[in-house]
């Protein structure tokens, strides 16, 4: 079964080099009856308002007004990614993202629910998380605000990181490199008890090569990238671990911007010189030590996601942890 899954994921990776939308749609529809069953008529997807913007298109809040053949209830709220009309590459990327999401169901990964692939634009319907993205959520919870959205504790920090680590351990086991692990790509449920990793648009399968070499000029999130990615454009499981360390830094800093206002060349120079991000005021010593392990220069010295998840889950099961007193300066974007 695992070999069959890897074969399907490898097919998705190979399809990224195709730019003809019709060929990709035909190839993907032939992969499984279950994926074909996610196709719905355009008329059953009602768009309400734009809630986000990505490299390959816009994200809207929407609703499925009729049940797809696989049994989702009518009226289900969904997040809908729209490919940029008439841009073939963008539509191909969304189709491949949908297929990868469909092949990788996990409690802490955003689920793909339905697709519209007939005519433009291609629509990818995903589960909707009412709490929004983690970056916006954390900034609204900053303790220096007059009316924070909610009080976030040290236990919340550990729980959030543990859930994302669980999703990444699942991807690591299936030899998938996410390549865009950041608070903006983590979604929060209504009461903030669950967070899920989303945006698989940059994810790549490394089943045969153990790493992915980027050859395109795609704009990349430099402040979250490992030194080997900045220098040689290579991505592997351990580059995701580095990015996860930056995500934990974001969580414990209430979503400050990594490296602040530094430009691209300055960020690369800082990382190459070994000058990384400073410990946030609300980050305790245990969490800071874990973050620093993710930022080891030698990739082999960084922990696996399985180990990270295990440590975070064990920590969450211990006694409550009080946050250090956050300073006003710690809340600056």
DSSP 325: P
Residue 239, token pair as written in the block: 């580059």
Sheet of 195-197: strands edge to edge?
132-133, 186-188, 195-197
The angle formed by the CA atoms of residues 289, 291 and 292, to the nearest 5 degrees, is 65
Backbone φ and ψ for 45, nearest 5 degrees, come out as -105, 110
Torsion of CA 86, 114, 33, 99, to 10 degrees: 60
- Report the run of H or E that residue 25 belongs to, with start and end: helix 21-29
Total residues belonging to the chain:
333
Please name the residue that has the structure tokens 């729209």. 82
Q: Of 133, 156, 180, 199, which is the active-site residue?
A: 180
DSSP-derived 3-state class of residue 69: coil
The angle formed by the CA atoms of residues 151, 154 and 157, to the nearest 5 degrees, is 90
In the residue annotation, 155 being an active-site residue is answered as: no
The angle formed by the CA atoms of residues 198, 55 and 209, to the nearest 5 degrees, is 65
- Report the run of H or E that residue 63 belongs to, with start and end: strand 57-64
User: Measured between alpha carbons, how far is 98 from 112 in angstroms, rounded to an integer?
Assistant: 6
Pair 239, 204: CB distance under 8 Å: no
DSSP-derived 3-state class of residue 277: coil
Residues acting as catalytic residues: 180
């Amino acid at each position: 079964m695992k070999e069959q899954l890897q074969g399907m994921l490898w097919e998705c990776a190979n399809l990224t080099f195709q730019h003809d939308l019709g060929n990709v749609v035909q190839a993907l529809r032939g992969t499984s009856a279950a994926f074909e069953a996610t196709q719905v008529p355009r008329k059953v997807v009602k768009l309400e308002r734009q809630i986000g913007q990505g490299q390959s298109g816009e994200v809207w809040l929407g609703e499925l007004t009729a049940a797809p053949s696989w049994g989702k209830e009518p009226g289900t709220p969904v997040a809908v990614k729209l490919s940029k009309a008439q841009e073939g590459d963008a539509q191909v990327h969304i189709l491949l993202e949908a297929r990868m999401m469909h092949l990788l169901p996990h409690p802490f990964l955003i689920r793909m629910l339905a697709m519209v692939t007939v005519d433009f634009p291609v629509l990818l319907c995903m589960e909707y998380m009412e709490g929004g993205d983690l970056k916006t959520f954390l900034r609204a919870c900053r303790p220096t605000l007059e009316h924070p959205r909610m009080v976030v504790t040290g236990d919340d920090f550990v729980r959030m990181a543990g859930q994302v680590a669980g999703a990444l351990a699942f991807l690591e086991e299936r030899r998938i490199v996410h390549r865009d692990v950041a608070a903006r790509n983590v979604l929060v449920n209504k009461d903030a008890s669950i967070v899920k990793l989303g945006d698989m648009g940059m994810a790549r399968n490394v089943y045969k090569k153990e790493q992915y070499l980027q050859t395109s000029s795609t704009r990349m999130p430099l402040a979250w990238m490992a030194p080997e990615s900045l220098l040689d454009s290579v991505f592997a499981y351990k580059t995701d671990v580095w990015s996860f360390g930056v995500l934990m830094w974001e969580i414990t800093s209430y979503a400050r911007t990594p490296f602040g206002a530094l430009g691209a060349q300055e960020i690369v120079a800082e990382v190459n010189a070994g000058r990384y991000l400073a410990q946030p005021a609300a980050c305790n010593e245990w969490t800071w030590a874990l973050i620093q392990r993710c930022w080891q220069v030698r990739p082999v010295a960084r922990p696996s996601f399985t180990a990270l998840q295990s440590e975070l889950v064990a920590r969450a099961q211990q006694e409550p942890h009080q946050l250090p007193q956050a300073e006003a300066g710690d809340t600056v974007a």
